[in-house]
Structure 1
């Protein structure tokens, strides 16, 4: 198949509508890069890190010569395990582990520093165009899944007040031994769980605005005094870091996911969708095996406790930008346990 023979995005939507098929959306880094590739590409992040005043990171980048953070973290983990097998000095192993943590924290710092300053950095036209794209899924009871860490999705949903954009977070009234009038009650931070039963927006790998306190998962928000990113920076200056799945391979990512109740819920939601899944800006790389596993689980026919058939995933549509993308998806197509269709990602008008 040549790239000019690919389906367009509109053709996919028309086909699914004709079949009365529910559709869901999976977003990858291509979603953010389509807004600004100068900010959200791995190359932009690696250039930022290379200029940091950190000798260890600079030497690592010089030795490994890659801008793929997942590969770098995987290699560091492998080196640490090999060192342990050969009985290397504990201090050496600790230093390798520390380098991994330094890279993780620096990656978060890089995203924070390169990120647009606030929600109004996105023009009104682009924000509304993106909102219309997202709402075409949410308005029809579809769900949105993303592996992106940045605030773009959150900003667009918040700014446009999309009705069905439910991320599972809400406030609880603080407990008191005395009766307090409604207008005088104190409410908690935005905690995850109150609306998880109707959640439609899922950050599969965490995001800048999400923090795990050890007891609760909370969502940072903007206030009348400070923009959202300012509040996130304030937390990070106190050595509180956002929920980020930055482990190397798919198995390690899944291990991180299952040890966090919020991430587990998001992953299980992806594993149980029905209808069709449209993937935009998601390349299904070597470190995304856990995502393929979730999709295959959703594609498996299954029954509920009352022996009734549950909805299952019928098909997946993957957007490709180039011949290389198309060749890659074709090479891994057999990993999917459901029909795979390709479409031209350049025909999706997300921001215009």
Structure 2
């Protein structure tokens, strides 16, 4: 069998540009590891689930047959309200309260371990370099998709005041229309107002995004508190971050389809055209839902001008020969042309 050609990242971008091919980007955990492998060398949230010690929490995760933090925390809150209403044994109520607090506190600790705040005090050059790298897609009509729920992508786009990205969030004017804009009160950031222009998609959610019941809310940095402190405050008020963690592809897709924001992002991945470039995404055994979305995009459909279009090819970044061999072993899963490039030639943070 002939050895697979490994392209360079610059070659891929030049080729797609010369052929006027629309291009999109899919980021995985390797995007964060390339920034700082010492911090992002493992998924702290998944590790937390696997090593959780509280027997009540272990049982609850098993009963709901799910690794969804939001669902488990809501179940605990509901159970506690019912137990207190019916005057259930005080010892049991105490156990539920303790389990709930442990889950919330442990989640915050896992998040801090995933990326402590001081990570964002690194030289400006890193965020600037990454911003220009991302802009290759955003300023040319492409979409950026990520399965990461850490703060790196959000941080880069905010820190560089990106004008080419839209995550679908915006503020609603809460005063009457006749009140001047500079005097009006506006809502917190709600998803949906700008979704028609959305080009940044957090496929598995992200820590600053919260499901408020009716609205999806985005937490912001404030002058008073770090973002992680704001997240903790929301959790104490029984609001929980939206993210899809452990589970196989089917379980992840089920979680996605039960949230309007995640569903919208996933459906956008199913509808991309041209070519998809991936960086730091290994298409592991629990990523079949992502492959399914890519394959749905390979079907012909009409664009807004009535032209037939589809996803023609994917360019998968690989770090090593074993990575390349693995992609070769699953090549037949993809219904479009598969190309490989050396991820080390993509200078994301340099």
Give me the CA root mean square deviation. 3.3
Is 1:34 matched up with 2:34?
A: yes
**Distance change (3 Å), C-alpha of 1:75 and 1:292:** farther
Q: SS state of the match for residue 350, structure 1?
A: coil
Q: Partners of 2:251 and 2:228 in 1: how far apart?
A: 29
- Counterparts in 2 of 1:108 and 1:314: CA distance versus 1, 3 Å: farther
- Range with bigger deviation, 295-304 or 121-130: 295-304
**Contact 1:25–1:278 (8 Å) recurs in 2:** yes
Residue 216 of structure 1 is matched in structure 2 by 215
The verdict on how the C-alpha distance between 1:305 and 1:17 changes in structure 2, with shifts beyond 3 A counting, is closer
Distance 1:102 1:24, change over 3 A: farther
Partner of 2:249: 250
Once the 2 structures are TM-superposed, how far is the Cα of residue 103 of structure 1 from its aligned partner?
7.5
Kindly tell me the number of residue pairs found equivalent between the two proteins: 318
Q: Would you say 1:162 and 2:150 are equivalent positions?
A: no
Paired with 1:105 and 1:2, the residues of 2 have a C-alpha distance of 49
The normalised TM-score by structure 1 is 0.81
Which secondary structure does the structure 2 equivalent of 1:285 belong to? Answer: coil
Which structure 2 residues correspond to residues 110-259 of structure 1 after superposition, within 5 A?
110-117=110-117, 120-176=120-176, 179-259=178-258
Assess, with a 3 A threshold, how the Cα gap between structure 1 residues 49 and 244 changes in structure 2: closer, same or farther: closer
Where does residue 283 of structure 1 map in the other structure?
282
- Alpha-carbon distance in structure 2 between the residues aligned to 1:125 and 1:57: 46
User: 1:40 is paired with a residue of what secondary structure?
Assistant: coil
How far the C-alpha of 1:108 sits from its partner, in A, is 5.8
- Matched residue, 1:344: 342
Would the alpha carbon gap of residues 103 and 300 (structure 1) be closer, same or farther in structure 2, given more than 3 Å must change?
farther
Q: Distance in 2 between matches of 1:344 and 1:217?
A: 37
For 1:327, the equivalent position in structure 2 comes to 325
- Any gaps of 5 or more consecutive residues in structure 1? 61-72, 79-94
CA gap of 1:346–1:22, structure 2 versus 1, over 3 A, is same
Answer whether contact 1:267 1:294 (CA < 8 A) is retained.
yes
Change (3 A) 1:196 1:44: closer
Cα distance, 1:309 vs structure 2 = 3.6
